[in-house]
Amino acid sequence: MTEKSDYIRPKRYHMIVITGAAGFIGSGLARHLNDLGYNNLVLVDDFSRADKNKNLEHKAFALQIHRNDFPGWLWEKHYFVDAIFHIGARTDTTEQNWDIFQELNLDYTKTLWELCTQHSIPFIYASSAATYGLGEKGYDDRHDLVEELSPLNPYGDSKNEFDKWALQQTKQPPNWYGLKFFNVYGPNEYHKGRMASVIFHTSRQIKATGKMKLFRSHRKDYKDGQQQRDFIYVKDVLKVMYWLYKSKPESGLYNLGTGQARSFWDLATSTFNALGKTPDISFIDTPEDIRETYQYFTEANMNKLREAGYREDFCSLEEGVADYVTNYLKEEVIY
């Protein structure tokens, strides 16, 4: 039996906090909220990279706070805050230093959870489909499966460890949602380098060479280019996050994909089409450092979100790629 905080909330000033605000999803959320009329935003990040800070151009907000200063600010100014979207995290799937994940993905998130619990603030945080590992247990966001999952890298472990910790807490924020993001793509990922979406890299390669190289399959049960992922357009992710904030369904972990796996071949072909080019696709070996932990298939079970009341359709891969490439990637426009 979980308990809610007995803290009595004073009048709120309806400030919405976004951590990781200069990043891919965080900056997109700031734009989405601005478009809906929310300008009273508190943006939290380390703001140390000029390439990431470009994502904040033309965004309206009230405050910008360094992530190290934010817990202290929240302790003192909690009565201003209507909700926290905690999107900030170390997301490099090739990083092997556990101490980094312990600090940023576990300890920091626990601190925010506890402050939100104490001050009765809704808390929406980024988990990951990386928690599912190779999918041995499927891709179902049931809480009873979390202890059985086997992530493939320290990043996935850190996300799953926090999910497990959250589910064990007897005191919780009034509403909380851990979102298991699948393969999110879309504008404002220009700074991500190797960790940017395949669509981003495909567009860059096509513009530079007219061709695209995908990873070769190293499994007999998958043909080259037929590895499949659940690709979801970032604008759909932002709609779900806002809906959770407004609708407040039952707290818990929620998958956030489309529910339909698509191949990398389909993705590359869609990108060529969006650029008005004839597909020219070849293959290279998957890099050794990620080959053993490479996911060949992911597909979110989206029943929980649908049963909670979310009714919006998700963009098809072709629709999302066309919007991303045509309106953003061609000229590297910030959303």
Domain ranges of the chain: 13-185+231-258+299-314
Nearest-angstrom CA–CA distance, 166 and 171: 9
Fold topology of 13-185+231-258+299-314: Rossmann fold (3.40.50)
**pTM, full prediction:** 0.93
Backbone angles phi, psi at 284, to 5 degrees: -130, 160
What pLDDT score was predicted for residue 240? 98
User: For each successive 10 residues of the chain (335 residues), what is the average pLDDT?
Assistant: 48 85 97 97 96 95 97 96 94 78 91 97 97 95 97 92 97 97 96 90 93 94 96 98 98 98 97 95 91 90 98 97 96 94
d(CA 15, CA 35): 16
CA nearest 93: which of 290, 276, 236? 290
* Residue 259 CB burial class (10 angstroms; 0-12, 13-18, ≥19): middle
pLDDT score recorded for residue 295? 86
Which residues in 157-173 are b (16+ Cβ under 10 Å) and which e? bbbbbbbeebbeeeebb
Catalytic choice (77, 110, 192, 239):
192
User: In Å, how far from its chain's centre is CA 200?
Assistant: 16
To which H or E segment does residue 76 belong? helix 70-77
> Is there a catalytic annotation at residue 155?
yes
Whole-number Å distance between alpha carbons of 267 and 283: 14
- Say if residues 166 and 179 touch (Cβ distance below 8 Å): no
Nearest by Cα to 123 from 78, 66, 59: 78
C-alpha 128 chain-centroid distance: 7
Are the C-beta atoms of residues 18 and 41 closer than 8 Å to each other? Answer: yes
pLDDT number for residue 1: 43
Burial 272-306 (b: 16+ CB within 10 A, else e): bebbeeeeebeeeebeeeeeeebbebbbbbbebbe
Please report the pLDDT score of residue 12 as a whole number: 58
CA–CA dist 116, 113 (Å, integer): 5
Q: Which two tokens stand for residue 73?
A: 């600010």
**Cα–Cα–Cα angle for 113, 5, 71, rounded to 5 degrees:** 30
User: Which of 108, 155, 190, 233 is labelled catalytic?
Assistant: 155
